[in-house]
Amino acid sequence: MGNVLNIVLQRLALGLLTLLIVSIVIFIAVNMLPGDFAELILGQGATPEAVKTIREDLGLDQSLISRYFGWLGGMLTGDLGTSFAQLNFQTNLGGDGGVTVVEQIAPRFANTMFLAMVTAAIAVPIAVIVGILAALYRNTVFDRVANIFTLSSISSPEFFMAYVLILFLAVLNPILPSLSNIYQGMEFSDRLVKSLLPALTLTLVVTAHMMRMTRAAIINLLASPYIEMARLKGMSPMRVIVKHALPNALAPIINVIALNLAYLITGVVVVEVVFVYPGIGQLFVDSVKIRDIPVVQACCLIFAAAYILLNLTADILSILSNPRLRHPK
């Protein structure tokens, strides 16, 4: 047990170090974006004096290093700053008040998490079940059809799959709404219905990877001696796969599921834009357009933290599910 705890602590420390390095990359990359928020807000009437005043009020005239450590210190205390755009619209520049980045991101992040959970609830069971059946009936018509379908899903861009689903499920057959205009206080059933189309789009994208990894991991174990012994005992093929092959194939399956769940949080930008879904991806795109630096930095940091956290979770679960990984050679 102590060995497992040490491994978990090492992974967490490595994850924090990775997040620190990623935060530096995010800060530098965001501040290298072309354009200037002050010039964008002032428009054609921008004068050098007015631009300089706004930059001083927002702290954009400070050095990159001091701004980074200020952002890092605020991040460690849960203060990600105030949205430039919201500050400009609600108060005078340089004054107190405005909407903080946390207040602006929190409801959007909740919407994205809801979409990710709906997609995961549909995609993960389908991917694992179809992967097991494809391994059980490999080289059959079912296996070939499943492989062709998954290859088509992987090869198609998300926006293409989104517009195909809109065409067939919202235009030709008006079953689901094409726009996901959800809002706070909305009934769960209505929220679920309006989120189904983007959730189905993401399901088509992520199911293929999980299904193919499940199939490959199980087939890779079917030639093992203990599988042959189970067959010689007269066990049914399904029981052999579920009871003997699947538990030993959990490590790669958990990894690919975690990677795809991370994609559901970090890669939803295109899908949210297509369906006008009020999630963190849509907020990220809107903030980039107006160069709202604090919001862009916070969105990128959330994407990175979610990706790192889910990868660490997959790593730890793989170690717990496979005792051989706890004892390095």
* Domains of the chain from N-terminus onward: 2-99 (no CATH), 111-289 (1.10.3720.10)
Task: Find the distance separating the first CA and the last CA of the chain, reported in whole Å.
Answer: 18
Q: What is the pLDDT of residue 70?
A: 86
Under 8 Å between Cβ of 133 and 140: no
CA 55 – CA 77 distance, rounded (Å) = 24
Q: What is the pLDDT of residue 21?
A: 92
Dihedral angle over CA of 101, 102, 107, 108, nearest 10: 50
Q: What is the pLDDT of residue 91?
A: 42
Q: What is the pLDDT of residue 198?
A: 92
Return all residues near 81 (Cβ < 8 A) that are at least 6 apart: 71, 74, 100, 101, 294, 298
CA 70 – CA 172 distance, rounded (Å) = 53
Task: Please identify every stretch of the chain with a pLDDT value under 70, giving residue numbers as ranges.
Answer: 1-2, 35-46, 86-98, 321-329
Per-residue tokens: 322: 């496979």
With a threshold of 0.85, does the pTM exceed it?
no
Under 8 Å between Cβ of 72 and 23: yes
Q: What is the pLDDT of residue 89?
A: 37
Instruction: Give the chain's mean pLDDT.
Output: 81
Q: What is the pLDDT of residue 37?
A: 66
Q: What is the pLDDT of residue 328?
A: 54
Q: What is the pLDDT of residue 243?
A: 79
Q: What is the pLDDT of residue 94?
A: 44
Q: Which residue is it, tokens 């009934």?
A: 187
List, in sequence order, the alpha helices (H) in the chain: 2-31, 37-42, 48-58, 64-76, 84-90, 101-136, 141-155, 158-166, 188-221, 225-232, 237-239, 246-248, 250-266, 269-275, 280-289, 293-321
Query: In terms of residues, how long is the chain?
Result: 329
Return all residues near 73 (Cβ < 8 A) that are at least 6 apart: none
